[in-house]
């Protein structure tokens, strides 16, 4: 009798699982800060901001992660420049570049002879196509991201509380903000191949939202978010295999459903606790 875990006996599924776990760890840490700082829109914008670089890399036959990284970095720099010199609000700067980069990416993709195929892969990812070389890149990206998060933890905590407090403590809030944007950029770019530019925010935000229902301590929230992310990868891959659904979309959907289930379970626990406390 076949087992539900039989797909993990296949080598390409094993690579997808390992790559997904690495991405879940990076997104769990970065996503916790994104939720704590209310920066979900930045993650969404970066997910689409890397579209032109990915499209150009696809057409030229160069590594797509390289194109994604360059494009996302330019997006981050552009947001900062508009905010400082254009005297625009942070959200307005992100919104303008979001539309511009998304439109530019679609224009580039439209020049390809296989527009539908390229667009599907770019927007929704292909985690089952992760190669051994991709795993090396993902291992490097995850290690770098975790190292940055650990090194900048104290500054990021102060920044989350109040940028003026961070400045008074000599923690350089501008550098901390740049480190946070760089961490989010790295997570978005690394997640691209798994879930694509359209669904990347699901893996970045949903596990962190699920974790926040159970703890407000940042280190433990990161650990719980990583656990939810890994669960989403495992369940999503199994769902994709047995139900014949798209792997990246399945992972993103499971991540969101886990967040919803976590919220519902937390709400039920709170409702059950109130009557006992009322008679204490």
pLDDT of residue 26: 93
Q: Please give the radius of gyration of the chain, using alpha carbons only, rounded to the nearest integer.
A: 20
Instruction: Say what the pTM is.
Output: 0.83
Structure tokens at 215: 């703890």
Burial class (CB in 10 A: 0-12, 13-18, 19+), 38: exposed
- Please count the residues of the chain: 280
Q: Give the number of other Cβ atoms within 10 Å of residue 16's Cβ.
A: 30
Residue 159 to residues 23, 93, 176, 244, Cα–Cα distance (Å): 25, 20, 7, 44
CA dist 122 and 19 (Å) reads: 17
Residue 46 to residues 53, 79, 97, 231, 237, Cα–Cα distance (Å): 12, 10, 9, 24, 25
In 111-172, which ranges are continuous DSSP H helix?
Answer: 115-124, 132-151, 153-161, 163-168
Q: At what angle do helices 11-37 and 132-151 cross, to 10 degrees?
A: 20
- Give the single-character DSSP code of 42: H
- Give the residue from 4, 101, 120 showing the smallest Cα distance to 58: 120
What is the full DSSP assignment across 213-260?
A: TT---HHHHHHHHHHHHHHHHHHHHHHHHHHT--HHHHHHHHHHHHHH
Per-residue pLDDT of the chain (280 residues; tens, 9 = 90+): 467 878 888 999 999 999 999 999 999 999 998 888 877 777 777 777 777 887 787 777 777 777 877 887 787 777 777 666 656 666 777 777 778 887 887 787 777 655 555 566 667 778 888 888 888 888 998 999 999 888 888 877 776 666 666 666 666 667 777 788 888 888 888 887 777 776 788 888 999 999 988 888 888 999 999 999 999 999 999 999 999 888 888 998 999 999 999 999 888 887 777 554 443 4
Q: What is the pLDDT of residues 92-150, one digit of tens each?
A: 777 777 788 878 877 877 776 555 555 666 677 788 888 888 888 889 989 999 998 88
pLDDT of residue 280: 43
Structure tokens at 66: 């390289």
Q: In angstroms, how far is the first alpha carbon of the chain from the final one?
A: 53
Q: Give the number of other Cβ atoms within 10 Å of residue 100's Cβ.
A: 14
- DSSP H or E run through 266: helix 247-278
Structure tokens at 129: 């196509």
């Amino acid at each position: 009798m076949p087992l539900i875990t039989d797909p993990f006996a296949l080598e390409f599924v094993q690579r997808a699982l390992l790559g997904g776990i690495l991405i879940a760890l990076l997104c769990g840490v970065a996503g916790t800060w994104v939720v704590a700082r209310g920066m979900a829109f930045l993650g969404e914008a970066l997910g689409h901001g890397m579209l032109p670089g990915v499209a150009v890399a696809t057409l030229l036959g160069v590594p797509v992660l390289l194109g994604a990284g360059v494009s996302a970095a330019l997006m981050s720099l552009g947001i900062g420049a508009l905010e400082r010199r254009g005297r625009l609000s942070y959200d307005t700067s992100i919104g303008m570049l979001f539309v511009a980069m998304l439109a530019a990416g679609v224009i580039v993709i439209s020049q390809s002879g296989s527009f539908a195929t390229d667009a599907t892969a770019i927007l929704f990812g292909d985690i089952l196509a992760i190669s051994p070389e991709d795993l090396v890149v993902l291992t490097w990206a995850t290690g770098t991201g975790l190292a940055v998060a650990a090194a900048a933890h104290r500054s990021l905590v102060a920044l989350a509380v109040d940028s003026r407090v961070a400045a008074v403590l000599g923690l350089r809030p501008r550098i901390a903000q740049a480190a946070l944007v760089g961490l989010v950029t790295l997570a978005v770019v690394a997640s691209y191949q798994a879930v694509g530019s359209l669904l990347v925010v699901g893996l970045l935000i949903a596990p962190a939202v699920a974790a926040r229902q159970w703890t407000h301590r940042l280190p433990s929230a990161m650990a719980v978010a990583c656990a939810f992310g890994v669960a989403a990868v495992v369940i999503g891959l199994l769902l994709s295999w047995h139900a014949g659904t798209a792997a990246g979309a399945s992972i993103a959907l499971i991540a969101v459903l886990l967040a919803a289930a976590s919220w519902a379970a937390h709400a039920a626990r709170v409702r059950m606790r109130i009557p006992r406390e009322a008679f204490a």
